């Protein structure tokens, strides 16, 4: 996994083995989703480059490793080495699926630079806190069917809200309220639209 050829915009779909992760995965399941996504991930992260190095950008409260940008442990938006975070999931009995932009939707060099600029300057350097209430609301099936939903506030973000906001900014996803998208709903939407496709899996069997 250390020499994996990451591309800017790759999305890591993380399946944790703890009770919180399983609750998210099963609580947001969908029988009518693409087969791999009937059970959605419990967490998502997006890849970009920073000074020529691939970094894993996420919003979480569950990582004790210091952020690569701020050099300290954070609760909210943060950056890490992809191999380190994948190893965290595998060692705890989980796995990570990588979803990649389809060929006609790959980022141009200018878009890749814009992605890095947005993630680093607008989120990673600003200590954006984790949006727990938003994460809980994103998993409610009833509210998804209504027009009643909180306005977007980019000073607090949960994992798939961050990835949704950036994907919309790059016009790889229709513009909407980013907070409506839990991890499973986000990836199901992107796959159904033909923007992303499954690429590879990291787990105990395939990457010992």
Ranges 74-78, 153-157, 203-207, most confident: 74-78
Q: Is the pLDDT of residue 2 over 90?
A: no
Q: pLDDT value at position 154?
A: 84
Tokens matching residue 40:
């959605």
Greater model confidence, 154 or 201 = 201
Q: pLDDT value at position 145?
A: 55
Mean local confidence (pLDDT), 26-43: 94
Greater model confidence, 61 or 138 = 61
> Is residue 43 a contact partner of residue 50, using CB atoms and an 8 Å limit?
no
CATH classification of 11-202 is 3.90.1720, yes or no? yes
Q: pLDDT value at position 169?
A: 97
- The domain ranges of the chain are 11-202
What is the SS3 assignment for the chain? CCCCCCCCCCEEEEECCCHHHHHHHHHCCCCCCCHHHCCCCCEEEEEEEECCEEEEEEEECCCCCCCCCCCCCCCEEEEECHHHHHHHHHHCCCEEEEEEECHHHCCCHHHHHHHHHHHHHHHHHHCCEECHHHHHHHCCHHHHCCCCCCCCCCCEECHHHHHHHHHHHCCCCCCCCHHHCCHHHHHHHHHHCCCEEEEEEECCCCCC
Mean local confidence (pLDDT), 83-111: 98
pTM of the model: 0.93
For 158-177, how does the pLDDT look when each residue is reduced to its tens digit (9 = 90+)? 999 999 999 999 999 999 88
Of the candidates 151, 154, 158, the one whose C-alpha atom is nearest the C-alpha of residue 176 is: 151
């Amino acid at each position: 996994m250390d020499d994996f050829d990451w591309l800017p915009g790759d999305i890591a779909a993380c399946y944790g083995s703890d009770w919180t992760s399983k609750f998210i995965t099963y609580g947001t399941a969908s029988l009518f989703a693409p087969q791999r996504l009937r059970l959605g991930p419990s967490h998502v992260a997006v890849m970009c480059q920073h000074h020529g190095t691939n970094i894993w950008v996420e919003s979480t409260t569950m990582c004790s490793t210091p952020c690569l940008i701020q050099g300290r442990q954070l609760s909210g938006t943060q950056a890490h080495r992809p191999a380190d975070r994948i190893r965290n999931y595998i060692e705890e009995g989980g796995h990570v699926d990588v979803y990649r932009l389809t060929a006609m939707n790959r980022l141009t060099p200018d878009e890749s630079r814009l992605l890095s600029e947005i993630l680093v300057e607008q989120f990673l350097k600003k200590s954006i806190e984790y949006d727990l209430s938003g994460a809980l609301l994103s998993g409610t099936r009833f509210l998804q069917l209504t027009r009643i939903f909180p306005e977007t506030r980019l000073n607090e973000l949960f994992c798939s809200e961050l990835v949704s906001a950036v994907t919309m900014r790059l016009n790889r996803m229709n513009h909407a309220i980013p907070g409506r998208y839990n991890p499973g709903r986000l990836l199901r939407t992107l796959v159904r639209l033909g923007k992303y496709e499954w690429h590879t899996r990291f787990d105990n069997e395939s990457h010992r």
